[in-house]
Amino acid sequence: MNARVNALTFFGGMGLSRLAGPVIIIMILAMMILPLPPFLLDILFTFNIALAMIVLLVSLYTLKPLDFAIFPTVLLVTTLLRLSLNVASSRVVLLEGHTGPGAAGRVIEAFGHFLVGGNYTVGLVIFIILVIINFVVVTKGAGRIAEVSARFTLDAMPGKQMAIDADLNAGLIGEEEARRRRSEISQEADFFGSMDGASKFVRGDAVAGILIMLINIVGGLTVGIFQHHLDLATAVNNYTLLTIGDGLVAQIPALIISTAAGVVVSRVGTGEDLSQQLLSQLFDKPQVMLVSASILTLLGLIPGMPHLAFLLIGGLLAGVAYFLVQRQRQAEVAPEAPEEAPSPEVQEVGWDDVSLVDTLGLEVGYRLIPLVDRAQGGELLRRIKGIRKKFAQEMGFLVPAIHIRDNLELRPNAYRITLKGVETGAGEAYVGMYLAINPGRVMGELAGTATKDPAFGLPATWIDEESREQAQTYGYTVVDASTVVATHLSNIIQTYSAELLGREEAQQLLDRVSQESPKLVEDLVPKLLPLSTVQKVLQNLLVEGVHIRDMRTIIETLSDFAARTQEVDELTAAVRVALGRAIIQQIYPGVGELQVIALDPQLESILLQATKTHGGEVAGLEPGLAETLLRQTEQVVQHQEQMGLPPVLLVPAPLRLLLARFLRRIAPQLKVISHSEMPESKTIKVVAALGSKA
C-alpha cells in the first residue's frame, strides 16, 4: 500500500505532461521492433496525417519563427514516426501480402487504389514525382533558407546587442526587458541553426522512402512467388499495390511537414499571420488588380483562347480593383470642419502673459508632432519619462520636467533641445524611418540619406523599413526616430546635469533626506552652511560625473569640515575623499586591479612647484610644457579607450582640481583621481605616464 502511494506521489509530482515526450519517443522506437496489427496501423497512419495537418496550420498562423520554436524537434519526431510506420507496415506487407491488397489495413489499400488506378507504372511515376518534389524542391529550399538565415542572424547579433544596450542606457527599457530581448536574439540564432540541421532529417526520409519502396517490391515479389507460390500477376498486383499505398500514405504527411518548414523559415515577421500578409501585400493595390484584369481580358478576346476562363478571372480582378478604389476614397473623405468659435474679447495684459524660461525644453517641427502627441501614440513621451527615472536612479536627483512644444520656425523634421532658453542640441529625425549608426566596424554600405548621429557624432544613414534587417546584418546599430531624439536628450541631461541642479532641486533633495534623518540635515543647513554652498558642492560633484546618491555621507562630511572652512572647492575635495569607494566603484565596477595613468615624477614636481608659486593655477607653466601635456593626454586617453579601459589619471591631492579643470577641454571623458580618494583595498597598476618631454 505504501509503495503504491509513493508511486502515485512520484508521478503526480512529476506531472503527466512531462512524461508525454519520453513516452511518445519510446512508442515510436518500439513500433520499429514490435509487430502491429492492420487496424492499429490504420489508426497510426491517420494520426500521422492529422499531425501533419496540425503542424501546417500552426505554421500558417504563427507571426514570427520563434512562436513555433519547437518546430525543429517536431520535424525530427514526425520523421521518426513516418519511418517507424514504414518499418511496421513493411513487416506486415512482407508477411501477409499474399492474402490480398487489404493485408496491411484499409488506409494503405485505399491510398494504393487511389494512386495506382489500375496502372502500376503510372502509380510508381506519381509516387516518385511526389518524393522528388518533397526532396529537391521544398526540403532543399527550406534548408537553404534556414542556412542563410542562421548565418545572417549570427552576423547581425552584435548590432542587435548594441541596439539593446543603447535602449537600456537611454532608459527606454529596463533590465528585465533587456534580458528578454537578448534571450530572444540567442533563441533566434539557435532556431535557424536547428532548422538547418533538421532539414537533413526530411531529406534522408525522402531517400529512405524510395529505398523502402524498392525493397518492398523486390522482397514482396520474392516472398510471394517463392514462398507462397503465387503467380507473377497476382504477386505484382498485391505487393505493388501495398507498396505504393504504403509509400503514399507516408509521403503525403512528409510533403505537408516540409511545406510547413518552408513557411516557417521563409516568413518575415511583421506582426501578421500568413493570411493577413497575403491580403495586405498581394491583393491590396488596385492598380495591380486593374492591370492584371486588363491583360487577362485582352487574352480572352484573342481567337482560339479559352474565353470563359480568361474573361471570368479578368472580371473578378476588375471587381476587386473597383472595391479597393472605393475603400480608399472612403478613407480619404475628411470629416466636416467644425464651425469657428467666435473670437474672445481682447483682455488686459497681466503678469500671466509673462512666460518664464523653461529649465529644459524640447521643440519639434510639425512632422515630428506624432512622436510627442498622446492622441497619436506619442512614443517619445514614454521614453522621456524613462530617461528621467533612470537618471534619478543613477545620479541621485530628479531633473526638472521637460516642456515640449511644436515650433513652426524649425524645419519640418528638425528638433532642438534648450537649457534655460538656450539651444544646447539640435538634429533631425524622420518618423517612420530608422537611423543606422556605424559603430566602427560594418560589413557594407547602405542606400539612404547620409548623416551623423546627433548625440555622439557617429556616421549614420537614414533608411526605410525594408532596409532595417539588412542594416542589422551588416553590423549597424538601428534605432527609430523616437530613440534618436531620446538618446540625444539623455546625453544633454548627462552633460549639463550640474546646471540642472538648482536651489529648488537642492532643497527638495535635502527635504527627501530629512524624512529619514531629520537631525542630520537640521545640523547642517542653515546652522553650519547656507543652502547655496551645499548646492555648489553638489554641482562640483556632478560636473565630474560623480553621483550624489549617498547624501548621508555627503551631509556628514560637510558637517565635519564646515567648522574649518567655507571654501567650496575644499569642501568638495573632502566630500570626494569620503566618497572614494563609490567613485572608484562607479569608474571600475567589479574590477580588483585598477589600471591608471600617472604623472612622470619630474612633471609632477614641476606642477607642484607651479601650484605653490601661482596659487594653484596653471598659468605658471611655460607654453611648450602645457601644450606637450595636452597633446600627450589626448594620445594616452585615446589609447586607453581603444584598449577598452576607462581613462583615469591618478595624481597627488593638490594637483587634482587643477588638472581636472585644465584637461577637461581636450578630454572630457578623463577622470582625475587623487591618491587620497583611492581605497586602500584596491591594487593599482600604472599603464601609462605623462612625461615632461614629447
Give the CATH number of the domain where residue 374 resides: 3.40.30.60
Residue 308 makes CB contacts below 8 A (sequence gap 6+) with none
The predicted structure's pLDDT at residue 16? 57
Give residue 170's pLDDT: 64
Q: Say which CATH number the domain at 612 has.
A: 3.40.50.12790
With a CB cutoff of 8 Å and minimum separation 6, the contacts of 499 are: 419, 420, 539
Residues 523 and 660 in one domain: no
Give the type of residue at 296: L
- Do 29 and 168 reside in the same domain of the chain? yes
Decide if 31 is inside a domain: yes
For the stretch 196-223, pLDDT in tens is: 777 677 667 767 777 777 777 778 778 7
Q: 562 and 611: one domain?
A: no
pLDDT value of residue 46: 82
Asked if the model's pLDDT at residue 270 lies above 60, the reply is: no
Which amino acid does the sequence have at 606? Answer: I
Reading the block at residue 581, the C-alpha cell is: 569607494
Which backbone phi and psi does 229 adopt, to 5 degrees? 55, 40
What confidence score (pLDDT) does residue 173 get? 76
Same domain, 458 and 473: yes
Q: What's the mean pLDDT in 79-85? A: 81
Q: What is the mean pLDDT of residues 52-71?
A: 80
Q: In this predicted model, which residue has the larger pLDDT, 593 or 307? A: 593
**558 band by pLDDT with thresholds 50, 70 and 90:** very high
Query: Which grid coordinates are listed for 685?
Result: 597598476
User: Could you tell me if residue 81 is inside a domain?
Assistant: yes
**C-alpha cell recorded at residue 139:** 526540403
Q: Give domain status of residue 52, yes or no.
A: yes
For the cut 60, the answer to whether the pLDDT of residue 1 exceeds it is: no
Contact call for residues 63 and 269 (beta carbons, < 8 A): yes
pLDDT greater than 50 at residue 13: no
Task: Tell whether 380 and 453 lie within a shared domain.
Answer: yes
Give pLDDT, residue 4. Answer: 45
The pLDDT score that the predictor gives to residue 652 is 93
Which of residues 572 and 21 earns the better pLDDT score?
A: 572
Greater pLDDT, 44 or 111: 44
Cis peptide before 526 (omega within 30 of 0): yes
Place of cell 510547413: 260
Amino acid identity for residue 287 in this structure: Q
- Three-state DSSP at 552 gives helix
Q: Is the pLDDT of residue 109 over 80?
A: no
Query: Average pLDDT in the 618-647 region?
Result: 82
Q: Residue 583: inside a domain, yes or no?
A: no
129 vs 240 pLDDT, higher one: 129
Residue 199 is placed in which grid cell?
A: 532539414
Instruction: Using pLDDT thresholds of 50, 70 and 90, give the confidence band for residue 615.
Output: low
Same domain assignment for residues 68 and 113: yes
The domain total for the chain is 5
Residue 132 located in a structural domain: yes
Q: How many other CB atoms are there within 10 angstroms of residue 629's CB atom? A: 24
On whether both 71 and 183 belong to a single domain, the answer is yes
Tens digit of each residue's pLDDT (9 = 90 or more) over 143-163: 777 777 767 767 777 777 777
Give the tens place of pLDDT for each residue, 661-673.
Answer: 889 888 889 999 9
321 and 415 belong to one structural domain? no
Dist CA 69 CA 196 (whole Å): 13
Alpha carbon of 4 to those of 9, 166, 520, 632: distances in Å?
A: 9, 58, 68, 81
The verdict on residue 540 lying in a domain is yes
User: Residue 494's pLDDT is what?
Assistant: 93
What mean pLDDT is reported for the chain? 81
3-state secondary structure of 658: helix
Q: Is-contact 51 82, C-beta < 8 A?
A: no
Average pLDDT in the 250-273 region? 72
* Close Cβ partners of 685 (under 8 Å, ≥ 6 residues apart): 593, 594, 595, 596
pLDDT at residue 119 tops 80: no
Strand partners, 648: 671
128 and 54 in a common domain: yes
pLDDT band at 25 (very low <50, low <70, confident <90, very high): confident
Ramachandran region, residue 332 (left: φ > 0; alpha: ψ -120 to 50; beta: rest): alpha
Q: Which pLDDT value is given to residue 10?
A: 43
pLDDT tens, position by position, 324-353:
888 877 776 644 545 555 555 556 777 776
| Residues contacting residue 598 through CB under 8 Å, at least 6 positions apart | 649, 650, 651, 686, 688, 689, 690
**Residue 506: pLDDT above 60?**
yes
If you search the block for the grid coordinates 595636452, which residue do you land on? 630
Q: What is the pTM of this model?
A: 0.55
Q: Are residues 253 and 371 in the same domain?
A: no
Q: Looking at residues 600-612, what average pLDDT do you find?
A: 84
CATH at residue 552: 1.10.8.540
The confidence score (pLDDT) of residue 275 equals 67
Q: What pLDDT is stored for residue 481 in this prediction? A: 92
Q: In terms of domains, do 288 and 395 share one?
A: no
**Mean per-residue pLDDT, 5-17:** 48
> In this predicted model, what pLDDT tens digit does every residue of 284-317 receive, in sequence order?
778 878 888 888 888 878 887 777 887 888 888 8
Residue percentage of the chain with pLDDT more than 70: 84
Does residue 331 sit within a domain? no
pLDDT at 377: 74
pLDDT at res. 526: 86
**pLDDT at residue 107 is higher than 90:** no
Looking at the structure, do residues 162 and 145 belong to the same domain, yes or no? Answer: yes
Tell me which residue of 582, 395, 571 sits closest to 490, measured CA to CA.
Answer: 395
pLDDT at 103: 61
Q: Region 79-106: what's the mean pLDDT?
A: 73
Task: Specify the higher pLDDT residue, 180 or 249.
Answer: 180
With a cut of 80, say whether residue 358 has pLDDT above it: yes
- Mean pLDDT, range 53-80, rounded to an integer: 80
- Residues 270-293: what's their mean pLDDT? 72
Residue bearing the bigger pLDDT, 11 or 577: 577
What is residue 694's predicted lDDT score, i.e. its pLDDT?
Answer: 45
CA angle 48, 111, 41 (to 5 degrees): 45
pLDDT on residue 8: 43
Average pLDDT for 401-425: 92
Confirm whether 343 is domain-assigned.
no
Say if CB 606 and CB 625 are below 8 A apart: yes
Domain that holds residue 512: 501-578
